[in-house]
A and B are shown apart, each in its own frame.
Chain A
């Protein structure tokens, strides 16, 4: 089979169309460049009635939204999941890592939680505080102007609170708390845990005439048809297509490797078109990888040549290393004061929490070095598969019979509707060299591309943090007058610490640094080894804060893209 070459030479080829790739597309196209965007999945536009799941009723799905097909339920917007047919990944030494991939225009930004938190000054220099991990080669002052620009371009609600490590920004006004959130505020404060309006990228107020304003259906995970939430497709790629530059979208195209010339510089990418299963090549002056931390690492490691025998950008042997996800734990409580609620009003709100608690603790007095924030859920949500299961199990708290049949079940449903409150902790783990992904030489996917093999273990630092989460959640539930459901997960269950990968905040596989021996990219996310290859996903993260990573991916991708434009102008690339 011959590889089919496209004769056009793009200014830049961008691999992946999620947060990182989407932002690079926008900035490079705005600068007038000709860019190719290569995306492994299909075109997706939530305004297209054929692709919409927003505002559908549960009965429109024959499985009523059950998670049989899409892992977050039938109405979730992400195409893909933890396992993708024909695209396996493997594990080493019996360790566990769950990898969520979403192959579609916009990637995982179509369904993500929109929790949009800046990293703070300490997050970039945390080694200075506690000795763990490494400092970033940049500080908050380097990224702040880009966070500011991202806030204004994309829109995020929140409030300026003057917190030392949860910086202020350019926020849209937040929505008022829901009823269960008022209970949470009371309960958390009783334990001296502060609560603030959440910071999420939905438009509670208009930011331009291209995007709509939130209409409070609570379904951001289904992707918004009026573009009132942030998805990379709707908010970055589509506007980029209307800008000065030219954007060619290659969808359903899986990048195999970055191609290089005799000098070892990148010449473009080779990809497989899923529709005809043939291999193609695209030429570009610059290659920008935004395929996700693990996918970009995989592409680099699979790009072997005489000049780069260990894979592209991997002379340090650091590609794939320092992989780390956020920690995650959760608990649910039954709150009797929230029984027998009036259903007279619609409390869908935005798609997620209206209030949250950023990390409040002092780690110098705790047995774990890094913090976590608390996310809150609950309320009178739309029924979906699972609604009404064990309908009156809470009768046990009142000493009445559990189970039964007949109309009593109808009153039980209404009695307990909206009476539970859930809390999720999302924390920072320590980046370690021996948590990594590498190429599994024994396995290829259906496109003939060698797959990733993961090796990942939590340490007691993460387990101790998870134990602290459980104590905190129980205390808050009691403060709300509630009862925690189920037994608190003990030591044998890692205190409820979820498997690595599960929070879908994996970062760090191509970390940035000043020393080419211990890092993959420089502080502009340019490979130390090859000057015309950049990485704009979460791979260059040195550490994950107790924040979600998307806002930082966006800011850093913008910063790297500005640098690319500048270097092209100066003819340095």
Chain B
């Protein structure tokens, strides 16, 4: 896989940078735990396990970038009495992983974070993460909205950067345990489907046709072994 090669060369570049800044590989302690869990839980082939472990070993964003990302993610999905925040759901760590898994996002993310600090420094003489919320909002208000009629590749880089972080934050949050609970998704567990509930049908002005329902499975007989007459009519 070419990707693997490019990952390796990327690692060299990144870790060297990380070392220069911090003198050690950040986040090393947590890696093992995550990899072990993955090994037990989600059906990886040996090669896939190796790839995931390799990605976990690398640190892409430096400490300042991670801190800025955390601030940004929590501006997108903030903590309140009612809701949990993006960082509660470890969204920055997810974005860190995705930046290594999809390296084509790296320049946009890293460059975008630099732009954010540049903008912040020019306007408020302070890095973005240290600004007060009102000032942060001032910066975001100018990049947070986009015109969907303008093709994405023609939108300003700052707007596209924020869209990318918003997308990753939302996906990271709503694929986490916290986010799925907030969303209220009820599936991914054994159950017996027996149609749309009556109140939901009513809400949408829909109804099942008797003729159609008559063809459908009688869930009380699902464990009775199927038998047919010679014409293919189910008789059990």
Q: Which residues of B contact A383 (CB under 8 A)?
A: 171, 174-175, 179-180, 183, 185
A216 to B193 alpha-carbon distance, docked (Å): 6
A179 to B202 alpha-carbon distance, docked (Å): 11
Q: Which residues of B contact A152 (CB under 8 A)?
A: 228
A174→B216 contact, CB < 8 A: yes
Name A169's contact: one of B163, B193, B232 (CB within 8 Å). Answer: B232
Give the contact stretch, choosing among B10-18, B36-44, B118-126.
B36-44
B175→A385 contact, CB < 8 A: yes
A337 sits at the interface (CB 8 A): yes
A178 to B195 alpha-carbon distance, docked (Å): 6
Select from chain A the residue with minimum beta-carbon distance to B143.
A403
Name which of A66, A208, A346, A407 has the most chain B CB atoms within 10 A of its CB: A346
Q: Which residues of A contact B208 (CB under 8 A)?
A: 176-177, 182
A406→B78 contact, CB < 8 A: yes
What distance in Å separates the Cβ of A186 from its nearest Cβ neighbour in chain B? 8
A62→B38 contact, CB < 8 A: yes
Give the contact stretch, choosing among B21-29, B62-70, B106-114, B145-153.
B145-153
B175→A387 contact, CB < 8 A: yes
A205→B217 contact, CB < 8 A: yes
A175→B216 contact, CB < 8 A: yes
One digit per residue, 1 when the CB lies within 8 angstroms of any chain A CB and 0 when it does not, for chain B 84-97 equals: 00000000001001
B156 sits at the interface (CB 8 A): no
Name which of A85, A219, A338, A410 has the most chain B CB atoms within 10 A of its CB: A410
A120 to B48 alpha-carbon distance, docked (Å): 42
What distance in Å separates the Cβ of A416 from its nearest Cβ neighbour in chain B? 12
B191 sits at the interface (CB 8 A): yes
B175→A410 contact, CB < 8 A: no
A37 sits at the interface (CB 8 A): no
A382→B170 contact, CB < 8 A: no
B171→A393 contact, CB < 8 A: no
* Total contacts A-B at CB 8 Å: 258
Name A215's contact: one of B43, B190, B199 (CB within 8 Å). Answer: B190
A405→B140 contact, CB < 8 A: yes
B43→A51 contact, CB < 8 A: yes
B157 sits at the interface (CB 8 A): no
Q: Which residues of B contact A414 (CB under 8 A)?
A: 183-184
A341 to B203 alpha-carbon distance, docked (Å): 9
B173→A388 contact, CB < 8 A: yes
Name B176's contact: one of A59, A175, A183, A402 (CB within 8 Å). Answer: A59
One digit per residue, 1 when the CB lies within 8 angstroms of any chain B CB and 0 when it does not, for chain A 409-428 equals: 11001100100000000000
A69 to B189 alpha-carbon distance, docked (Å): 25
Select from chain B the residue with minimum beta-carbon distance to A65.
B175
A205→B190 contact, CB < 8 A: no
A57→B183 contact, CB < 8 A: no
A409 to B48 alpha-carbon distance, docked (Å): 34
What distance in Å separates the Cβ of A418 from its nearest Cβ neighbour in chain B? 10
Give the contact stretch, choosing among A153-161, A360-368, A553-561.
A153-161
Name A173's contact: one of B176, B199, B215 (CB within 8 Å). Answer: B215
Within 8 A of A (CB), among B192-207: 192-197, 199-201, 203-204, 206
Q: Which residues of A contact B206 (CB under 8 A)?
A: 179, 182-183
A216-B191, A413-B183 known; A68+B43 contact, CB < 8 A:
no
Interface size on B, residues (CB 8 A): 85
A66→B145 contact, CB < 8 A: no
A345-B197, A346-B187 known; A407+B232 contact, CB < 8 A:
no
Q: Which residues of A contact B234 (CB under 8 A)?
A: 171-173, 205
What distance in Å separates the Cβ of A69 from its nearest Cβ neighbour in chain B? 6
Select from chain B the residue with minimum beta-carbon distance to A219.
B188
A393→B83 contact, CB < 8 A: no
A169-B232, A383-B183, A404-B144 known; A58+B78 contact, CB < 8 A:
no
B193→A348 contact, CB < 8 A: yes
Q: Which residues of A contact B228 (CB under 8 A)?
A: 152, 170
A66 to B144 alpha-carbon distance, docked (Å): 25
Q: Which residues of A contact B159 (CB under 8 A)?
A: 403
B138 sits at the interface (CB 8 A): no
B32 sits at the interface (CB 8 A): no
What distance in Å separates the Cβ of A339 from its nearest Cβ neighbour in chain B? 10
B200→A345 contact, CB < 8 A: yes
A410→B187 contact, CB < 8 A: no
What distance in Å separates the Cβ of A430 from its nearest Cβ neighbour in chain B? 32
What distance in Å separates the Cβ of B102 from its nearest Cβ neighbour in chain A? 6
A216 to B102 alpha-carbon distance, docked (Å): 32
A182 to B186 alpha-carbon distance, docked (Å): 20
What distance in Å separates the Cβ of A67 from its nearest Cβ neighbour in chain B? 10
A197 sits at the interface (CB 8 A): yes
A207→B186 contact, CB < 8 A: no
B52 sits at the interface (CB 8 A): yes
B225 sits at the interface (CB 8 A): yes
What distance in Å separates the Cβ of B229 from its nearest Cβ neighbour in chain A? 10
B188→A63 contact, CB < 8 A: no
A384 sits at the interface (CB 8 A): yes
Within 8 A of B (CB), among A192-226: 197, 204-209, 213, 215-219
Within 8 A of B (CB), among A363-393: 380-391, 393
A491 to B140 alpha-carbon distance, docked (Å): 41
One digit per residue, 1 when the CB lies within 8 angstroms of any chain A CB and 0 when it does not, for chain B 68-79 equals: 000000011110
Name B43's contact: one of A50, A155, A342 (CB within 8 Å). Answer: A50
A60 sits at the interface (CB 8 A): yes
What distance in Å separates the Cβ of B66 from its nearest Cβ neighbour in chain A? 16
A387 to B193 alpha-carbon distance, docked (Å): 24
Q: Which residues of B contact A217 (CB under 8 A)?
A: 187-191
A338 to B166 alpha-carbon distance, docked (Å): 24
Known: A52-B43, A173-B215, A405-B166. 19 other contacts (CB 8 A): A62-B94, A63-B101, A64-B94, A68-B101, A75-B42, A79-B45, A159-B215, A172-B226, A173-B216, A174-B215, A175-B193, A182-B201, A197-B215, A206-B224, A213-B222, A346-B193, A347-B196, A388-B173, A391-B167
Closest 5 CB pairs of A and B: A388-B170, A176-B195, A343-B184, A58-B175, A215-B190
Q: Tell me the B residues contacting A by CB distance below 8 Å.
A: 1, 34, 37-38, 41-43, 45, 48, 51-52, 55-56, 75-78, 80, 83, 94, 97-98, 101-102, 140, 144-149, 159, 162-163, 166-167, 170-177, 179-180, 182-197, 199-201, 203-204, 206, 208, 212-213, 215-218, 221-226, 228, 232-234
29 A-B pairs whose Cβ atoms sit less than 8 Å apart in the complex: A52-B42, A53-B42, A61-B42, A62-B55, A159-B215, A173-B216, A175-B217, A176-B193, A176-B213, A176-B217, A205-B222, A207-B226, A217-B188, A343-B186, A344-B200, A345-B186, A347-B193, A381-B187, A382-B187, A382-B188, A386-B171, A388-B174, A402-B147, A404-B144, A404-B145, A406-B75, A409-B170, A410-B77, A417-B183
